[in-house]
Copies of this chain bind each other. A is one copy, B any other.
Amino acid sequence: MTQFSCLESSIELGSIMESALPKLLTKTYGSSKKVILVDSNTNEQCLQILFTHLDGLENAEIIEIPAGEDNKTMEICFSIWEALSEMEFGRNDVLLCLGGGMICDLGGFAASIYKRGMHCIYIPTSLLAMVDASIGGKTGVDLGSFKNQLGTFTEPSHVFIDPSFLQTLPEKEKLNGLAEMLKHGLIDDAKHFEKLASISFEDLSDELIVESLHIKSKIVESDPKEKNQRKLLNFGHTVGHAIEGHFLNSDHKMDHGLAVAHGMLVEAKISMINGFLSDKDFDRIKSVLQKRFNIQTFTNEENMEFISIMLQDKKRVNGSRFTLLKGIGQAVFDVKVKDEVVMEALKVLQ
């Protein structure tokens, strides 16, 4: 069992049965009402595991919401708030978020707003949620095509990361987490990047997850509200969010991780055009991303549309600013980049 804290959250990685969760539910929150937020997938695949192995959830309520990123909306939050109200939940009661990034982002947001903040625990079940969404306190929902446009900075009191939940996950879903892990390597730790580049998913060890978590944790602790250093974590996301947002309301949705992989490729290219990144490092990044992800091609019109969405991105302050790479394992934030350069770099996807 690995334990550490990040901001206001206490984080444990290991078997949930051996974690502090059972005691938390029966002692600390012994007299609190509990509700478990699941989506249709985690209701089917993960909830029973929780009930089988944990005391203290006998009287827990269940709120199920539809699975899928396009349900990360204020309307879904509204249905959660109405359910909590009907069940007469108070601010000292507990919401447990059992699911992937969508469940953690949306559930954490719903809990942070309900009665100005009720108790919240994350039990991430996807690799993406384990290495990214569950730590750092960013909660939120989408507004139309704009990702995480509405949200708060609020940490859950506890995060329990049990890698055995990953067995419930299809390979495709694990790629979402891998993209963020590769990002952690690219911005902060070349060795982490190279380890991830070479292993197969069967070899994805708890140690690698912890390594990735520690990189993210170190960065968010240095700058919780993303005024400076935390912007490093946006590498790949300015372009990635635009691509993801573009397809959000279409029939061909793109997974977050795949979108971020595309974003990292384009932003590495911007880094190279800007003279920050060597051709050799760019080629290495490109080859790893192309090996791991099904990198697609886009038309000129689609590229224009991505740029238009980027202008509305929340990281925009008087023009488009990017986190760029100065090498593998080294990044800088707040680099102003002209739209023409972004357009030029997007051609790497043509």
Residue in B81, B149, B317 whose CB lies within 8 Å of A143: B81
> Does A316 reach chain B (CB closer than 8 Å)?
yes
Within 8 A of B (CB), among A68-114: 74, 78, 81-82, 85, 88, 90-92, 112-114
User: What CA separation (Å) do A314 and B81 show in the bound complex?
Assistant: 13
Q: Does A138 contact B (CB under 8 A)?
A: yes
Given the known interface contacts A74-B74, A314-B90, A317-B90, the answer about A85 and B152 at a Cβ–Cβ threshold of 8 Å is no
Interface size on A, residues (CB 8 A): 34
Residue of B nearest to A318 (CB): B31
Residues on the B chain within 8 Å of A117, using CB? 152-153, 225
- How far is B311's CA from A85's CA once the two chains are assembled, in angstroms? 11
Give the complex CA separation of A92 and B144 in angstroms. 21
- Asked if A22 lies at the interface with its beta carbon under 8 angstroms from chain B, I say no
A115 within 8 A of B: yes
Query: Are B152 and A112 closer than 8 Å at their CB atoms?
Result: yes
Q: Give the shortest distance, in Å, between A224 (CB) and chain B (any CB).
A: 11
Nearest 9 A/B pairs, CB to CB:
A115-B314, A116-B151, A113-B150, A92-B317, A90-B316, A88-B312, A91-B314, A116-B153, A81-B143
Q: Can you list 10 A-B contacts with CB-CB less than 8 angstroms, sorted by A residue number?
A: A85-B149, A88-B311, A90-B314, A91-B314, A113-B151, A115-B150, A116-B151, A116-B314, A117-B153, A152-B152
